[in-house]
Amino acid sequence: MQDEERYEQGMAVRRAVLGDAHVDRTLANLTPLNDEFQHFITRYAWGETWTRPGLDRHTRSMITIAMLIALNREAELKMHLRAAFNNGVTREELKELIMHSALYCGLPAANATMHLAQQVFDEQDAQQEG
């Protein structure tokens, strides 16, 4: 696959997982510093890795969230907590993932993620009510 094809495929997956609003904000904030990096992310993270046939998007979301908990990457974690619902992940599954992460990633990481997940849930609930 050529880079441009990989980019187009990646952009389709990126939009499906993260949502148009998030991707549009990212594209609107391109600068000479970050434009090549964003293109790289779209080609390789979304166009190469997230499109591989071995795992479905639901599983990839769960794995990604678990790794971000372990790495303590709050901004990326919050983004992927929001995006997980686009891949069919439920609140109950996220709760269980966070509970499981307490054992393997540590209580502070799981506790911080519980608070972050609650913020995401509250934001979703407010949008549904409004």
Q: What is the pLDDT of residues 43-96, one digit of tens each?
A: 999 999 999 999 999 999 999 999 999 999 999 999 999 999 999 999 999 999
Whether the model pTM is above 0.85 = yes
Domain closes at, from 32, 52, 72: 52
Residue span of the structural domain in which 8 resides:
1-52
Does one domain contain both 31 and 79?
A: no
What does the pLDDT look like over 12-45, one tens digit per residue? Answer: 999 999 999 999 999 999 999 999 999 999 999 9
Residues 66 and 127 reside in one and the same domain: yes
Q: Given this model, what pLDDT does residue 130 score?
A: 78
State whether 48 and 65 are in the same domain: no
Regarding whether 71 and 14 lie in a shared domain, the answer is no
- Judgement on whether residues 83 and 121 belong to the same structural domain of the protein: yes
| 13 neighbors 50 (Cβ within 8 angstroms) | yes
Q: Are residues 20 and 70 in the same domain?
A: no
43 and 69 share a domain? no
